[in-house]
Amino acid sequence: MDTDGSVISTRAEDQSFHVRYRMEVSCLELALEGERLCKLGDYRAGVSFFEAAIQVGTEDLQVLSAIYSQLGNAYFHLHDYAKALEFHRHDLTLTRTIGDLLGEAKASGNLGNTLKVLGRFDEAMVCCQRHLEIARDISDKVGQARALYNFGNVYHAKGKSICWSGAEPGDFPEDVMAALRKASEYYEANLVLVQELGDRAAQGRTYGNLGNTHYLLGNFRNAVASHEQRLLIAKEFGDRSAERRAYCNLGNAYIFLGEFEVAAEHYKRTLQLARQLKDRAVEAQACYSLGNTYTLLQDYERAIDYHLKHLIIAQDLNDRIGEGRACWSLGNAHTALGSHDQAMHFAEKHLEICREVCQVALHHT
């Protein structure tokens, strides 16, 4: 009798182990499929598989933490930041529960990035600080570099969020300048580490962000130095979008340094790359910048040529605000040349577009 009972209980144990084993396997299989889909950029489908994996369940908290982390990232890519926040918080709680320091650092970093996008900068900084502390404690240089970069991004975003529109770079209120100075300090600290690690791709990203920060601070020479480095690394990787951005940023900095010819050369490279990349919006922006640069050089014929190119693309893209800007600039350039009929034509067109845009804006409010 006893033996029979033990056989039954052993069988029951076997069965529950078998059920648990199947559960773990199918949870893992679903999660791995979710991961594969996210790597292919199909985040919607990835999310479905991760959520199915959670439904099946797992007793392996490390696997669950990984699923939460990837779900948070997938929602982040889908711009559903509330959901991303929810899953990164779950992940953080779980990693703390199981004492997984590396996981906690990663979860803090992900949470910080999500809070930054939501404009919750002070909370984001707390997460970045935790990420940095853990990375230092466990001597994880890659983690430290990532935390410093994220910190820089939070301060940069905070500075930009309170920038006065219409104010010139370097001319912002003190709280903006303080945030941007902090951003540049964190980017500099990150650069030291990524140079030690020999991570050229990470150096490229940081140089780009540091250049943009120096530009906003009004340190145009430093901005040029950083963007030159960004350009160099973009060329090493054959990353034409990054190369195009670097040329554009260099052009902007040279304008403020009063070196208009040099700025024009950089904007021309921007224009070439925009055409190669078939990016019409960037092509329009480059033509507009070139038109303005030639106006500063008092070469009004060339300014008109570029502003007309901008006008045509703006019309193609149905960008009424861009069209209005082009007409305004063309009116000014024709006035400078003394072509008053042409100037009047573009001034009237500008006014007509302004009225239309204002009507649309009022209709939407």
Provide mean pLDDT across the span 20-30.
74
Q: With 70 as the cut, is the pLDDT of residue 364 above it?
A: no
Angle at 286 between CA 281 and CA 290, to 5 degrees: 150
Helix, strand, or coil (residue 319): coil
pLDDT given for residue 237 in this prediction: 97
pLDDT given for residue 365 in this prediction: 55
Instruction: Band the pLDDT of 167: cuts 50, 70, 90.
Output: confident
Instruction: Band the pLDDT of 31: cuts 50, 70, 90.
Output: very high
Instruction: Band the pLDDT of 1: cuts 50, 70, 90.
Output: very low
Which pairs with CB-CB distance under 8 Å and at least 24 residues apart come from 46-53? 46/70, 46/74, 47/71, 47/74, 47/75, 47/78, 50/74, 53/27, 53/28
pLDDT given for residue 21 in this prediction: 52
State the Cα–Cα distance between residues 294 and 260, nearest whole angstrom: 8
Q: With 50 as the cut, is the pLDDT of residue 17 above it?
A: no
Q: With 80 as the cut, is the pLDDT of residue 14 above it?
A: no
* Global pTM exceeds 0.85: yes
Q: Which residues of 113-132 are buried (b: 16+ CB within 10 A; e: fewer)?
A: bbbbeeebbebbbebbebbb
Q: Which domains are delineated in the chain?
A: 16-98 (1.25.40.10), 100-237 (1.25.40.10)
Q: With 50 as the cut, is the pLDDT of residue 251 above it?
A: yes
Q: With 70 as the cut, is the pLDDT of residue 306 above it?
A: yes
Angle at 16 between CA 12 and CA 18, to 5 degrees: 115
- pLDDT, averaged across the chain: 92
pLDDT given for residue 9 in this prediction: 46
State the Cα–Cα distance between residues 341 and 162, nearest whole angstrom: 42
List pLDDT tens digits, range 42-86: 999 999 999 999 998 888 999 999 999 999 999 999 999 999 999
pLDDT given for residue 10 in this prediction: 47
Percent above pLDDT 70 for the chain: 91
Percent above pLDDT 90 for the chain: 85
State the Cα–Cα distance between residues 73 and 37, nearest whole angstrom: 13
Which residues make Cβ contacts (< 8 Å) with residue 64, sequence separation at least 6?
Answer: 54, 58, 94
